A and B are shown apart, each in its own frame.
Chain A
Amino acid sequence: EIVLTQSPGTLSLSPGERATLSCRASQSVTSTFLAWYQQKPGQAPRLLIYGVSSRATGIPDRFSGSGSGTDFTLTISRLEPEDFAVYYCQQYGSSPRTFGQGTKLEIK
């Protein structure tokens, strides 16, 4: 099983700042099968990024993904108030599909 470790656990930033979230895998992720999701309180997760760097439908271009192998990054170039939420990475190339434990992005 591929274990995904996200860091930091909590990130405190202000609107307008740049956010960098990390996801590290215990072994190489198959191909580019790495996704990022956003979850707000009381809501279902929403797909942001798939295939490491492709934005899902309707996702603004301030969200970008990068990385390869075992190290992946989600970057939010300029934080908007609605971006404060919990973010999860997921690998879907190997079974079982696994998620990271999440990074909470909170307003500073």
Chain B
Amino acid sequence: EVQLLESGGGLVQPGGSLRLSCAASGFTFSSCAMSWVRQAPGKGLEWVSSISGSGGSTSYADSVRGRFTISRDNSRSTLFLQMNSLRAEDTAVYYCARRPSGAVIGPFDYWGQGTLVTVSS
């Protein structure tokens, strides 16, 4: 069974940093591109960042480029999102999501339960 379990969310002051983790199980982690998608309270979904299975290719939304860094440790089947210079508008539930195994282009077929990040003084 595919499982994605996020952690690391919490309350942080504007300008602060936070590192999110997503522990994966039930599939060959290194075969799947992974992404972070966020959802501000009461709002819709926003793609944040993606990383290829090998970790060699990354992409970011304009809203986070230069502040957030996505990475992965395939030996530990874990995805990360380092978030720096956080702003109030980064407040959201952050989901990790999987692209189907072997898919160069694909939807998000499995999602974690999300971790809440609140940026406030």
> Which chain A residues have a beta carbon within 8 Å of chain B's beta carbons?
33, 35, 37, 43-47, 50, 56-57, 88, 90, 92-93, 95-102
Nearest A-chain residue to B6, judged by Cβ: A44
In the assembled complex, the CB of B8 is this many whole angstroms from the nearest CB of chain A, namely 16
Instruction: Please give 9 more A-B residue pairs, beta carbons under 8 A apart, in addition to A33-B105, A96-B62, A97-B47.
Output: A35-B107, A44-B95, A47-B108, A90-B45, A90-B107, A92-B108, A96-B47, A97-B35, A97-B50
Is B111 in contact with chain A by the CB < 8 A criterion?
yes
Q: Which of A45, A56, A95 contacts B45, CB < 8 Å?
A: A45
Inter-chain CA distance A35–B62, complex, in Å, is 22
Decide if B56 is an interface residue (CB 8 Å cutoff): no
A interface majority secondary structure: loop
Does B112 lie within 8 Å of A102, measured CB to CB?
Answer: no
User: Which residues of A are found within 8 Å of B50, using beta-carbon distances?
Assistant: 97
- The 3 A-B pairs of least Cβ separation, nearest first, read A35-B107, A44-B111, A50-B107
For the side of the interface on B, what is the size category?
Answer: 20 to 34
A101, B107: Cβ atoms closer than 8 Å? no
Contact A44 B112 (CB under 8 A): yes
Q: A45-B111, A96-B62 are in contact. Are A50 and B47 (CB under 8 A)?
A: no
A50 contacts B106, CB within 8 Å? yes
Asked if residues B105 and A102 are in contact (CB atoms below 8 Å), the reply is no
